[in-house]
């Protein structure tokens, strides 16, 4: 039977994809015949225009490096996506292209599962689309945060041990250490970490990044991005299937 509901993932150099397997397993579990999930590897974001003319395209997920760039190609944004300034899920409905952000809810669920009451301020490592969703979720729960990036005031070169000691939540939002570059690790003062700290690394492949390994050696509680990924995927599924007016 021909597929008549197409979903997929856009990104660049997507060598592996959690999403494809996740949704194909879902189609199987729910015994859905008419669905397919494809990988759309785009060298440049403007290639998405050709994708939009695909018949029966219900929507797609968006990953690095297009979570912000996709916005210019959409007709409408959800409130959250607008406030965050990043989109990781697109719904195509009656010819309209609508952007959502399900990273924020995925991160929020991860955070609330692991956060302790003394963990009330955070460092966000990175400043891309995922970092924006993380900041939105932290703000929502009254957790103050600082963004550390290559060119922020506090950056990877001058971030010191004391700053790390004073922020008990560290969220690693850069792709550094992702498969296949599993030996790579951010420049980070791990000696500032203790068992008081919660470390969330949004990477899920490998399960244990160098960042997580080094943080756990200091006694910190460490969590990878797998649960967040599942939760954002579930939310995307809801958007694609239950938004029909």
Catalytic annotation, residues: 67
Distance (Å, whole) CA 237 – CA 13 = 24
The DSSP string of the chain is ----EEEEEEESS----HHHHHHHHHHHHTT-SSEEEEEEE-SSGGGHHHHHTSTTB-EEEE-TT-TTGGGGG-SEE-HHHHHHT--SEEEEETTEEEEE--HHHHHHHHHHHH--TT--EEEEE--SHHHHHHHHHHHHTT-EEEEEBTTSSSBTTT--HHHHHH--EEEE-S-TT-TT-TT------GGG--TT-EEEE---SSSS-HHHHHHHHTT-EEE-SHHHHHHHHHHHHHHHHH---
Strand pairing partners for 98? 76, 91
**Hey, which residues does 199 pair with through a beta bridge?**
170, 222
């Amino acid at each position: 039977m021909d597929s008549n509901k197409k979903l997929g993932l856009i990104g660049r150099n997507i060598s592996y994809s959690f999403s494809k397997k996740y949704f194909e397993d879902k189609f199987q579990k729910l015994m859905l015949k008419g669905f397919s999930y494809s990988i759309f590897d785009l060298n440049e974001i403007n290639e998405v225009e050709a994708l939009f003319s695909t018949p029966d395209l219900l929507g797609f997920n968006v990953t690095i490096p297009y979570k912000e760039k996709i916005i210019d190609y959409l007709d409408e944004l959800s409130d959250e996506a607008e406030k965050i300034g990043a989109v990781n899920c697109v719904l195509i409905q009656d010819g309209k292209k609508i952007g959502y952000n399900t990273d924020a809810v995925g991160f929020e669920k991860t955070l609330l599962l692991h956060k302790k009451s003394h963990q009330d301020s955070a460092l966000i490592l990175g400043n891309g689309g995922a970092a924006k969703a993380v900041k939105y979720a932290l703000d929502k729960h009254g957790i103050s945060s600082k963004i550390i990036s290559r060119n922020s005031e506090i950056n990877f070169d001058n971030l010191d041990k004391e700053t790390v000691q004073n922020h008990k939540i560290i969220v690693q939002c850069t792709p550094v250490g992702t498969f296949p570059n599993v030996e790579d690790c951010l420049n980070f003062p791990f000696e500032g970490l203790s068992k008081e700290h919660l470390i969330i690394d949004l990477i899920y492949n490998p399960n244990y990044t160098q960042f997580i390994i080094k943080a756990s050696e200091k006694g910190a509680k460490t969590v990878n991005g797998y649960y967040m990924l599942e939760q954002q995927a579930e939310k995307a599924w809801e958007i694609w299937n239950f938004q029909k007016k």
